[in-house]
Chains A and B, each alone.
Chain A
Amino acid sequence: MDFLVLGILAITPQQIVMYGIGILLIYLAIYKDFEPALLLPMGFGAILVNLPASGVLNQTLAGIGETHGIIQWLFEVGIEASEALPILLFIGIGAMIDFGPLLSNPKMFLFGAAAQFGIFFALSMATLLGFDLKDAASIGIIGAADGPTSILVSQILGSSYVGAIAVAAYSYMALVPIVQPIAIKLVTTKKERRIKMPYNPSSISKRTRILFPIIVTFIAGLVAPTSVALVGFLMFGNLIRECGVLNSLSDTAQNVLANLITLLLGITISFSMTADAFVKLDTLLIMCLGLVAFIFDTIGGVLFAKFLNLFLKEKINPMVGAAGISAFPMSARVIQKMGLKEDPTNHLLMHAVGANVSGQIGSVVAGGIILNLLTKML
């Protein structure tokens, strides 16, 4: 009857650590509401792939030969071979986003660019900690505050830290309400946080809404061709939403498709959370660098707003700059809440939403540009 205890005897201390991490992720998802759609499947997947001789991974069995595991197959087909899962998710994300608040207030676009600074800052810090350029860029992209972009870029660059990067990206997105207020207060005064911004949106024609995704695809695609998969699918989803003749498809993309891909993406990415790949000092460093990326994204956006204020008659509340990160809609809500806390009559939500959806574009463009630059430099 030895076979009954073979599994228990084969457990390694590193695998026990991974069970703990898996349970922690499930706890954070259920009880703290931290990105539950992703962290729960990832947490459960972390347990599945770390069971000894787990059937969800390919195994070689005596007398039978190789057997195929479902999670490994999903990873090889859906992420490794084609990056299909994160890319397809962008159709759903694009269909969910209303670019109206941004199109009616175009200067908010600029914050979607400025708040990507943390990506490059973290990239530089990672090189100083000894990571090679591909891994450093993969770690930096955690600052895109966009899980699918982080997974896609780190996978294309062949980073061995995809699991840790995905966990960091989704964890910090959930921690935006804690991280951003601290970072914002570090670089703003109370007076600056109380700046009021009147909201006078211009009306947006249907033609503009339809042309917008097509134009963005052309510009991003021609300047940074590697970003086409990211930007193109995001904008394809948005075009389905805005065209007005594909409401059923738009609804499917926003709900069924996005939910299905999210469900599979979480459990699939857990393939890269096997104990030998995850239980390392590097994982801790990556978590720290991810935090640095989020903090400097926020600081980059805020400082850029303060820079613009040097030239503007109607001042911008610098907190709005912080909403230029891609974590939508959490970041916009954080800014609104902070604005109201400083002055109960100060409503910044629509400005922040504009900056926040710009961050969606900025983050995928940043992912494409990083791929572009690295493939040319390496």
Chain B
Amino acid sequence: MTKEVYRKGYNMIDNFMLSLEIMWKGMAGIFFIIILITLIVMMLSKIPSQEKDNN
């Protein structure tokens, strides 16, 4: 199965298989970015600050 086939979009099953690849890569990518942001926010909140506000 070559990328050329996907590109032309001739085959529904090929497109479906490619969509599954997009699904796992996409969800993994979103989680990667979000987890990275979460960790940095958690680290930031550990750094003491003089000026605080509540929400």
Contact = CB atoms under 8 A, between A and B. Distances in A.
Given A206-B53, A369-B29, A377-B22, A215 B9 contact: no
Interface residues of B, number: 38
B41 A201 contact: no
B52 A113 contact: no
A136 B19 contact: yes
Contacts of A113: 27, 30-31, 33-35
Interface string A79-120: 000000000000000000010110110110110111011011
Contact of A223 (B21, B33, B41, B42): B33
B12 interface: yes
Contacts, number: 144
A366 B25 CA distance: 11
Contacts of A365: 29-30, 33-34
Main secondary structure of the interface of A (DSSP, over half): helix
A220 interface: yes
B40 to A, nearest CB: 5
B27 A120 contact: yes
A370 interface: yes
Contacts of A201: 54-55
Contacts of A224: 29, 33
A289 to B, nearest CB: 12
B8 to A, nearest CB: 9
A110 B34 CA distance: 7
Contact-residue bracket for chain A: 35 or more
A127 B15 CA distance: 6
A313 interface: no
Contact of B42 (A106, A203, A205, A219): A106
A124 B52 CA distance: 46
A101 B12 contact: no
Interface in B4-54: 6-7, 9, 12, 15-16, 18-23, 25-27, 29-38, 40-42, 44-45, 47, 49, 51-54
A378 B7 contact: yes
Contact of B25 (A109, A215, A362, A373): A373
B33 to A, nearest CB: 5
A116 B47 CA distance: 31
Given A124-B23, A212-B44, 20 more contacts: A103-B41, A106-B45, A109-B41, A116-B30, A120-B23, A120-B27, A124-B19, A127-B18, A127-B19, A132-B15, A203-B53, A206-B49, A206-B53, A208-B45, A219-B40, A223-B33, A362-B30, A365-B34, A366-B26, A366-B30
20 contacts: A106-B42, A110-B31, A113-B30, A113-B33, A113-B34, A117-B27, A124-B19, A124-B23, A127-B12, A127-B16, A203-B52, A204-B55, A207-B49, A212-B41, A220-B33, A223-B32, A365-B30, A365-B33, A372-B29, A377-B6
The 3 closest A-B pairs by CB, nearest first: A205-B49, A132-B9, A120-B23
